[in-house]
A = this chain, B = another copy of it.
Amino acid sequence: MSAPPTIPRRRYVVLAEGAFGELASKTAMGVIRYGPDPVVAVLDSTRAGRNVREWLGDRYDIPVVATLEEALERGPTALLIGIAPQGGRIPPDWRRTILAAIDAGVDIVSGLHEFVSDDPEFAAAAARRGVELVDHRRPPAFHDVSSGRVHATGKRVILTVGTDCAIGKMSVALELRRAAVAAGLRGIFVATGQTGIMIEGWGAAVDRLVSDFLNGTVEWLVEQAEDMGDWIFVEGQGSIDHPAYSAVTLGLIHGSTPHGMVLVHQPGRTEHHGWEGRGTRLKSLPEHVRIHEAIAGLVQPSRVVAIALDTHELSESVARAEIDRAAAETGLPADDPVRFGADSLLQGIRSAVP
């Protein structure tokens, strides 16, 4: 956990070799889209010559380059590792690039499970060159189980949950916070993953925590957020029915005891990310609403209060139709807050959680 003022402002080159624009590069995309620090280049030789605006629109004029040398010409102060692979190891092919970046005098910023600052070769090179190795997934010193704290008076805690992992739960929480602040509310975003921490400057990567302290640390994060504002938007992780990540998801639900949950889904996604072709289908939205309310209710009653869709692969008319369908299926407010803004969802949430 790091507090906002301790995050220095950097100029990033984002390393996303072979993956930019794919789901594996969600850290790169999140930092570019929502982070406060400028990104001067993306390093992906397989997409060199292209520009980030092709993926994210005209607001993002960032070249994709083939080599570290080209990236360095643009004056970055740090190399940010822009992928979040399953298992979180440092891709072996990237070691040479990371070492060259250290030798060129730029910091390394990582959200991987395998900490760059614990790597003897990187650490020695960084010490020689006087650059910093930053591991945003390193867990906080906090080590305690949940205490069953009750939310402070007047606070509203909203958790994003999803029909799958890597489906946009962080983006939805960030868009809701943006809409809340725009509406004059004291909105707070609680980062629970490395990308969110890179963007927000504080939080904890909950998938890195000791399991026994997972529920308790989430409770502690929400307590701090309540000291900072009134409408608390907690970034969800994984999905409650994902074979690999369900425990992390449950720790967030039972640790944050949300007043309301926003269910995130991508129309057209039918299987769990990374588990395609195994014959399991994603459950329907109404089924997910029912499951989440039942499981949250084991500790504290909670309701799914809105549906957030990721429609970026659909035409606008198809997207609108999918949104209408989700609303009809569930009887809940539905929208794509990244594409169309989060005002309507926020309004729906405020009605449901007065």
Residues of A within 8 A of B (CB): 86-88, 113, 143-146, 148, 206-212, 214-216, 240-241, 243-248, 250-251, 254-255, 257, 275, 278, 291, 294-295, 298-300
Residues on the B chain within 8 Å of A143, using CB: 87, 113
B residues near A298, Cβ cutoff 8 Å? 240-241, 246, 291
CB-based contact A145/B245 at 8 Å: yes
Chosen A-B contacts, 24 in total, with CB atoms closer than 8 Å, are: A87-B144, A113-B143, A113-B212, A146-B244, A148-B243, A148-B244, A148-B275, A207-B210, A207-B211, A208-B212, A209-B210, A211-B247, A211-B251, A212-B245, A241-B298, A243-B254, A246-B298, A247-B248, A247-B254, A247-B255, A291-B294, A291-B298, A294-B294, A295-B295
Of A86, A254, A257, which is in contact with the most chain B CB atoms at under 10 Å from its CB?
A254
Task: Give the copy number.
Answer: 2
Neighbouring B residues of A254 by C-beta, 8 Å: 243, 246-247
Assess the A247–B207 pair: CB atoms within 8 A. Answer: no
The distance in angstroms between the C-alpha atoms of A294 and B243, with both chains bound, is 14
- 9 A-B pairs besides A113-B210, A146-B243 with CB distance below 8 A are A145-B244, A208-B211, A212-B248, A215-B247, A216-B244, A243-B300, A246-B254, A250-B250, A295-B295
Is there contact, CB below 8 Å, between B212 and A88? yes
B residues in contact with A247, CB < 8 Å: 211, 214-215, 247-248, 250-251, 254-255
With a cutoff of 8 Å between Cβ atoms, the chain B residues found around residue A245 in the complex are 145, 212, 215
What is the CA–CA distance of A209 and B207 in the complex, to the nearest angstrom? 10
Assess whether A246 is in contact with B241, with CB atoms less than 8 Å apart: no
The 8 closest A-B pairs by CB, nearest first: A247-B251, A207-B212, A241-B298, A146-B244, A145-B244, A250-B250, A247-B247, A214-B247
